[in-house]
Amino acid sequence: MAASSAEAQLVTRLLQEWRNGNNHALDEIMPIVYDELRRMAARLLAAEKPGHTLPATALVHEAYFRLVDADIAWQNRAHFYAIAARVLRRVLVEHARTRSRQKRGGGAEKIPMDEAIAIGLEASAIVVDLDEALSRLALRDSRKSDIVQLLFFGGLTYEETAEALGISPATVHRELKLAKAWLHRELAQSSA
């Protein structure tokens, strides 16, 4: 997702113009960010079964509508993608909860975050469990929760995550280790 300096500056400028009421800036920015949003969504859905009821395009479109309607003081490109990652996560979790209710299944096997990521968050219950664990982590340490969201749900690099959160890449790396350990323990306890 690393962008050229010129693209990052263009996206930042257009976001600021959009924030200041220039609706034409939105028309200009969407073709630039759409491909990246689509890659983020596709990454989240990569290991889903064929015929998944929420294709990447639908996920991006739903996230787009929420982003357009949001009243956010956009700071820069990294901030936009950080918010987009949260919105994509929220849409995916809402979809998973709806599917779980429809199946009335429960009984799904719970697995640790690392394994869930390795199989692409295949089961709806896994997405919901991970979301609940991330919400609990956010109550304890919001920055660690943000780091996990940006890296795993948003597809940001360590550098982009650091920029979005105003911390160093080394801090991102260190706090991610702690967050993963905490989430692993939480998911293991909730599946026991």
Higher pLDDT among residues 126 and 157, named by residue: 157
Query: Average model confidence (pLDDT) for the chain?
Result: 78
pLDDT given at position 176? 94
pLDDT in tens, 81-111: 888 888 888 888 888 777 665 554 444 445 4
pLDDT given at position 172? 95
pLDDT in tens, 5-14: 788 889 889 9
pLDDT in tens, 142-157: 999 989 888 877 777 8
- Answer whether residue 117 shows pLDDT above 50: no
Predicted TM-score (pTM) of the model is: 0.64
147-171: average pLDDT: 86
- Answer whether residue 3 shows pLDDT above 90: no
pLDDT in tens, 27-72: 898 888 888 888 888 877 775 555 566 778 888 888 888 888 877 8
The highest-confidence range among 25-29, 75-79, 112-116, 170-174, by mean pLDDT, is 170-174
DSSP secondary structure string for all residues of 94-153: HHHHHHHHHHT---PPP--HHHHHHTTS-SHHHHHHHHHHHHHHHHH-HHHHHHHIIIII
Residues 82 and 72: their CA atoms lie apart, in Å, by: 12
21-30: average pLDDT: 87
- Answer whether residue 177 shows pLDDT above 90: yes
Residue 118: pLDDT band by 50, 70, 90 thresholds?
very low
Residue ranges covered by each domain of the chain:
5-191
Q: What is the 3-state secondary structure (H, E, C) of 40-91?
A: HHHHHHCCCCCCCCCCHHHHHHHHHHHHHHCCCCCCCHHHHHHHHHHHHHHH
